[in-house]
Amino acid sequence: MSEFAVEVFQNEYLPEGGREVNAIVTVTATGGATSGTRTDAAEVIIIDTSGSMDYPPTKLRAAKQATAAAIDALRDGVWFAVVAGAHAARPIYPERGLVAADAATRARAKLAVAAVRADGGTAIGQWLLLAGRLFAEHPAAIKHAILLTDGRNQHERPEELDGVLDGCRGAFTCDCRGIGTDWEVSELRRVSTALLGTVDIVAEPSQLEADFTAMTAAAMGKRLAEVNLRLWTPQGAAVRFVKQVAPDMLDLTDRRVETGPRTADYPTGSWGAESRDYHVCVEVRPAGVGDRMLAGRVSMVVPGDAGGGGGGASAGASAGGASAGATGGGEDAVLAQGRMLAVWTDDDALSTRINRQVAHYTGQGELADAIQQGLAARRAGDVETATAKLGRAVALATEHGNDETAKLLARVVEVDDPVTGTVRLRSRVATVDEMTLDTRSTKTARVKKP
């Protein structure tokens, strides 16, 4: 059983005439399947088998070993398949559909993977289309894919991939990995963002096995599928944005689906025992000094038509919210709720105080933008802009305690003063260091407790 709790962090005080209400919403899910229950799950592992995977051959060898490790990490009964991706996609195992994991099917799958050879080009959209068709056979399952590539999507047009991604949204989640340095960060980020997954670089083939095992284990820990963040706002209000800000930055604003009067859902994917933070910004009609308003109600909801993955849920609601059990029936199940408030005041000390969590994640968003803009300027030869943006990134990483990002930045710039962001571009930067910084720019550090 999973229990959800919602906490809302904000400065509810607005100045006279103030409109913008910002809040950080922390959602925590605890618990998991008991020994007597199993969550219906489906896993598709997609490995690049294009010709470049043989140069050097350690890439394909590592991909096979990592896939075998992921297969071993599947729990009994999970539906799975392994797909080979080149200029077309084909099943490696089984020959059609998905198969339930057990000792025999794992052994046969690993034998089939071991026999794979590298040949052909790269068409990522075709790989995802095949995964989508396989998942469609198990609509009630929590569906997760792993996608590994070593190159650019050279055998289909960008608009073709975009069309596939539009069709796959909400059908399954996908974690993407690039091995080596010949792939495109922005391309894989498009895939992972559309499919509510993660993207990362695997610089050395030897690191792949542990990464595949960790991704599969995380997928096996999911207990609820299709959980939505539902936002109600008052008459005359406008939602400026809804963003996941931890553990990764992910803008959900454009995923809005109207579900009722002044109410909309934003997809958050599947959940296990974990915690995530969301930044919600709402613009409301201003009221008079001393007036109070419910500026928004945030609920975590399992839609009534969702399969629910075969597990149940109980709700631990906080911040004055209501709750209901998720039954997978026709009615939506509200797992937890929290409230965003607005109080107008003429006390400047109250209205100008910035909530600590809001300030932290606003800085984290600026940090990601500064890194990506700085690296783009560096690639374009714009030294002045690159130095300014990456210097700002160093200052933000230092201010907000993002130590891992600070270390990655130090491989790209010489840091003279981390507090002020005084830096100099390094004359020589390894491609892997630049790609690692770019890939991990959206990973955030959570607010440290005082």
Tell me, what's the pLDDT at 450? 61
228 and 215 in one domain?
Answer: no
Task: Give pLDDT tens digits for 65-93.
Answer: 999 999 999 999 999 999 999 999 999 99
Boundary-marking domain end, from 317, 352, 387:
352
Nearest to 281 by CA among 241, 233, 230, 237: 241
Q: Return the number of other C-beta atoms located less than 10 Å from residue 322's C-beta.
A: 11
Structure-derived torsion over alpha carbons of residues 76, 78, 79, 81, reported in degrees to the nearest 10: -80
56 and 127 inside one domain: yes
Query: 352, 368, 400: which is the final residue of a domain?
Result: 352
pLDDT at site 305: 75
**pLDDT given at position 31:** 78
Asked whether residue 403 falls in the same domain as residue 303, the answer is no
One domain, residues 21 and 52? no
Whether 315 and 426 share a structural domain: no
- Strand duo 173-179 + 199-202: pairing: parallel
Whether 411 and 437 share a structural domain: yes
Shared domain check, 81 and 24? no
| Whether pLDDT at 132 is above 70 | yes
Contact between residue 393 and residue 371 where contact means Cβ atoms under 8 Å apart: yes
Q: Which of 320, 352, 384 is the last residue of a domain?
A: 352
**Cα(335)–Cα(25) distance, integer angstroms:** 14
Q: Is residue 331 part of a domain?
A: yes
In the block, residue with structure tokens 């998942």: 135
Domain presence at residue 447:
no
Burial of 156 (0-12, 13-18, 19+ CB in 10 A): middle
3-class DSSP state of 164: helix
Cα separation, 284 vs 158, in Å, equals: 39
Question: Is the bond leading into 450 cis (omega within 30 degrees of zero)?
Answer: no
- For residues 116 and 179, membership in a common domain is answered with yes
Residue pLDDT, tens place only, 187-197: 999 999 999 99
Q: Label each residue of 401-427 as H, E or C.
A: CCHHHHHHHCCCEEEEECCCCEEEECC
Tell me: do 209 and 278 sit in the same domain: no
End-to-end CA distance of the chain: 32
Q: Which domain covers residue 433, as residue numbers? A: 357-442
Residue 278 within any structural domain of the chain: yes
Can you tell me the distance from the alpha carbon of 165 to that of 145, in angstroms, rounded to the nearest whole number?
14
CATH code, 379: 1.20.120.1690
Q: Both 198 and 244 in a single domain?
A: no
Q: How many domains does the chain have?
A: 3
Q: Kindly state whether residue 169 falls inside one of the protein's structural domains.
A: yes
The CATH number assigned to the domain holding 209 equals: 3.40.50.410
Whether residues 189 and 72 share a domain: the answer is yes
Q: Are residues 228 and 112 in the same domain?
A: no
Instruction: Give the model's pLDDT for residue 448.
Output: 77
What are the pLDDT digits (tens) for 333-371? 999 999 999 999 999 999 999 999 999 999 999 999 999
Please tell me the distance from the alpha carbon of residue 49 to that of residue 86, in angstroms, as a whole number.
Answer: 6
Tell me: pLDDT of 232 over 80: yes
Percent over 70 (pLDDT), the chain: 92
